Amino acid sequence: MPKLIVKQGGQSREMALTKDTISIGRTPENDIELKDSLISRKHTSIVRKGDKYVVYDLGSSNGTFVNRERIEMKPLDDGDIIRVGDSEIHYVEDGPVRGVPKPVTDRRPTEVPAPAGQGQVVKHVDEIAESFSFDITGALSKGLSLRDIRGEAVGEKAAKESKMFFILFQVGKALSTAEKLDDMLLIATKLIFEVVNAERCVLLLKDPHTGELSTRMAYHRLRGMVDGKDIMISRTISSQVMNDRVAMITSDALQDPRFMAGLSIVQYNIRSALCVPLWEADRVYGAIYLDNLAKSHAFTRDDLELMTAIANLIAIRIKTEETAVKLRREETLRANLSKYHSPDHVKLLMERGGDVGLEVSEREVTVAFIDVVESTRMAEAHNPAEVASLLNEFFQMATNAIFQHDGHVNNFIGDEVMAIFNAPLDMPDHAAQAVRACAAFLGELKKFNQSHPEKEFKVRCAINTGPVVAGNVGAAAHIKYTVLGDAVNVAARLSKTPQVNSIVVGEHTYDRVKGKFKTKD
C-alpha cells in the first residue's frame, strides 16, 4: 500500500494512504497538519485517481513543489518528494524511502544538469521555441485541425497549456492595444506577477549602438513601480543570458557554483533568480530578470518556458516599434530629399541609407544661379498673392529643368534659385549638365512668356565650376545640405551681370564645355 513519510523539524512520521483524499495544511482540520507560517491553511491535497495518486496545489501563496519543481498538479511516482514550506513529504509505493528524487533520464542535451541537491536549469531559447512551434500552414493545407496538429491535451498538460494560453493571450492583447511600449511592458509585468512567484522584476534593454544594458522598467511585488536604481540585479546572470541566448533558473543562487564569482549575488542576498533574453530570431534586445530574495526554488521549468514566450512577444513589439521609427524617419528623409533632388537621386540616396554621401567633404562642383530680373517692379505691379503665384511658376519651371539634368536644388533665395551639380552624387559631366539645365529652362521660359505676355519673366542664368566644401551644415535643430566656397561666390556675382535670358559661365566652366555648346567671349 502506498504511504507518505512526513519530515518536519528533524522528525519523521509515516501515514498509509487509506483515503481517497488527503488534505495538507497548517490548521487542525487537515489530514496532515504542518505548523509552519509558510504553509497556507488549505495548502495541498493528494487525491486517488484510478490506480494513481495525484498531488494538487490549492492556490497556496508559497507553492507546492515536487522534486524541487513548483507544480499545480502532478501524478505521483514512487520516490517523489513533495515539499511544502520547510516540510518534506515522501511518496512511497513499496520498499524503502528514497532519500533523493528519482533521476531525470529525459534531460535535453542543451539543458545544463543541476548540481547535486540543487535545481538549476539553463535552456537555449531556440530549444524552448521549438517545443511550442508547428507548421500550421502546411498542416491546415492537409485538412488537419489545430487539435490534430497539437494533439488533445489532458490532465497536467491541459492545465499547463490553458494557463500559458491565458497569460500569452493577455500579453498579446496588451502588445497590440497599448499605445506606448512602456504601457505594454507595465501590463506584461503585472501579468507576470500573477502567475510567477517573483518578488522583483527588471526589464533590461540593450542599446543597439553600444550594446550596453540599461533598466527600462523595475517593479516590486509590494511597492509596484520603483526606480531602477532601487533594484540591484545580478549582472552575472543577465550577462550570461544575453551573451549565450539562454533562459536560466537558479533555484539557490547563493549555492550555485556557476555564480560563485558573482559578488552581486552575495551582496544582494539573491536566493532564486529567473532570467530570459528578449529575443526575436537571431537578435537579442534585452532581458527580463526576476528574483526572489526570500525563497529558494521559487521558479519552475513551466515558469521558464512561459517567460521565454512572453519575452519573445515583447521583443516582437520592440522590433515593430523600431521598424515603425525607421519607416517614419525614411518617410521624413525622403520628403526632405524630394524637395531638392530628382526622384532618381532620391532613390539612390535612400538606397545608400539617406544620410550616406551627405557628410562634409571637399569636392568639385558646378553651381548655377537663376535670378529673376526686375522682381521689384513685379512686386509693385501685383499684390503679394499674385507675386507669390508668379514666383512659384518660375521656381517650378527651374526645378523641373534642374531635376531633368540630375541637378540638386540647393536653395530658393527670394527670387533666385541656386542649383548644384556633382553633389551629393557624382556626375562626371557636371559642367555640361548645368549648362543643359539652364538652356532647357530658358526654352520653357520662352514658351511661357509667349503664352502669358502679361506675366513675362526676364532672368539671368550664371554658372561656375570649382572646389567647394559640401555636406550637411547647420544647427542640430535645422541642418541642410549645401556647398560653401569661392566657386559659389563667383557664380553669385556672375548672376548680377546685365545679360538677360542668356547663360553666363565662369572661366572654369567654360574650359569644360567649350566645343559642346555655342559660346562667345
Residues 271-287, mean pLDDT to the nearest whole number: 88
Has residue 286 been placed in a domain?
yes
Choose the weakest-confidence range: 81-95, 141-155, 179-193.
141-155
Q: Are residues 125 and 15 in the same domain?
A: no
Q: Are residues 191 and 255 in the same domain?
A: yes
The CATH number covering residue 310 comes to 3.30.450.40
**Closest Cα partner for 38 from 304, 275, 301, 297?**
297
Residues 440-450, mean pLDDT to the nearest whole number: 94
Residues 17-39, mean pLDDT to the nearest whole number: 88
Residues 32-44, mean pLDDT to the nearest whole number: 86
Query: What pLDDT shows up at residue 395?
Result: 93
Choose the weakest-confidence range: 113-122, 201-210, 364-373, 484-493.
113-122
Choose the weakest-confidence range: 267-276, 334-343, 380-389.
334-343
pLDDT at residue 176 is higher than 80: no
Query: What pLDDT shows up at residue 181?
Result: 82
Query: What pLDDT shows up at residue 488?
Result: 95
Query: What pLDDT shows up at residue 97?
Result: 38
Q: Are residues 368 and 268 in the same domain?
A: no
Has residue 497 been placed in a domain?
yes
- Of 259 and 429, the structure prediction assigns the larger pLDDT to 429
Round to the nearest angstrom and report the end-to-end CA distance of the chain: 119
- Of 438 and 247, the structure prediction assigns the larger pLDDT to 438
Place 419 in a pLDDT band, splitting at 50, 70 and 90. very high
Cβ neighbours of 117 (radius 10 Å): 9
pLDDT at residue 197 is higher than 90: no
pLDDT at residue 346 is higher than 80: no
If one counts the domains in the chain, the total is 3
Residues 114-143, mean pLDDT to the nearest whole number: 55
Q: Are residues 77 and 183 in the same domain?
A: no
Range with the largest mean pLDDT of 215-224, 225-234, 306-315, 361-370: 361-370
Query: What pLDDT shows up at residue 270?
Result: 65
Q: Are residues 165 and 230 in the same domain?
A: yes
Has residue 109 been placed in a domain?
no
pLDDT at residue 99 is higher than 50: no
pLDDT at residue 38 is higher than 70: yes
Choose the weakest-confidence range: 123-127, 215-219, 315-319.
123-127
**Closest Cα partner for 234 from 285, 284, 270?**
270
Has residue 148 been placed in a domain?
no
Q: Are residues 507 and 430 in the same domain?
A: yes
Choose the weakest-confidence range: 32-36, 49-53, 136-140, 389-393.
136-140
Q: Are residues 351 and 486 in the same domain?
A: yes
416-421 and 272-280 strand pairing: unpaired
Query: What pLDDT shows up at residue 130?
Result: 60
Has residue 115 been placed in a domain?
no
Query: What pLDDT shows up at residue 116?
Result: 35
Query: What pLDDT shows up at residue 156?
Result: 52
Place 355 in a pLDDT band, splitting at 50, 70 and 90. low
Q: Could you tell me if 484 and 492 are in contact, meaning their C-beta atoms sit under 8 angstroms apart?
A: no
Query: What pLDDT shows up at residue 202?
Result: 92
Q: Are residues 163 and 287 in the same domain?
A: yes
Rounded alpha-carbon distances, angstroms, from residue 120 to 71, 154, 293, 339: 16, 28, 16, 60
E strands present in 101-212: 121-124, 200-206
Q: Are residues 308 and 165 in the same domain?
A: yes
Has residue 426 been placed in a domain?
yes
pLDDT at residue 122 is higher than 80: no
Query: What pLDDT shows up at residue 169?
Result: 76
Query: What pLDDT shows up at residue 518?
Result: 85
What strands, in cross-sheet order, belong to the sheet with 87-92? 11-16, 3-8, 87-92, 81-84, 64-66, 69-71
Q: How far apart are CA 144 and CA 134, in angstroms?
A: 12
pLDDT at residue 159 is higher than 60: no
The CATH number covering residue 23 comes to 2.60.200.20
Has residue 337 been placed in a domain?
no
Our CA angle for 443, 447, 450, nearest 5°, is: 140
Structural domain ending residue among the three candidates 323, 353, 381: 323
pLDDT at residue 160 is higher than 50: yes
Query: What pLDDT shows up at residue 345?
Result: 64
Query: What pLDDT shows up at residue 137?
Result: 53
Mean pLDDT of the chain: 80
Query: What pLDDT shows up at residue 55?
Result: 92
- Of 168 and 2, the structure prediction assigns the larger pLDDT to 2
Residues 183-206, mean pLDDT to the nearest whole number: 87
Query: What pLDDT shows up at residue 79?
Result: 92
What strands, in cross-sheet order, belong to the sheet with 200-206? 121-124, 246-250, 272-280, 283-292, 200-206, 213-220, 224-226
Q: Are residues 496 and 414 in the same domain?
A: yes
Q: Are residues 365 and 500 in the same domain?
A: yes
Measure the CA dihedral 463/469/471/475, to 10°.
Answer: -110
The CATH number covering residue 394 comes to 3.30.70.1230
Query: What share of the chain in percent tops pLDDT 70?
Result: 78
Query: What pLDDT shows up at residue 256?
Result: 52
Has residue 168 been placed in a domain?
yes
pLDDT digits (tens, 9 = 90+) for 503-517: 999 999 999 999 899
Cβ neighbours of 337 (radius 10 Å): 22
Range of the domain at 50: 3-92
Query: What pLDDT shows up at residue 370?
Result: 96
Query: What pLDDT shows up at residue 436?
Result: 96
Measure the CA dihedral 206/211/212/216, to 10°.
Answer: -10
Residues 331-358, mean pLDDT to the nearest whole number: 67
Q: Are residues 471 and 367 in the same domain?
A: yes
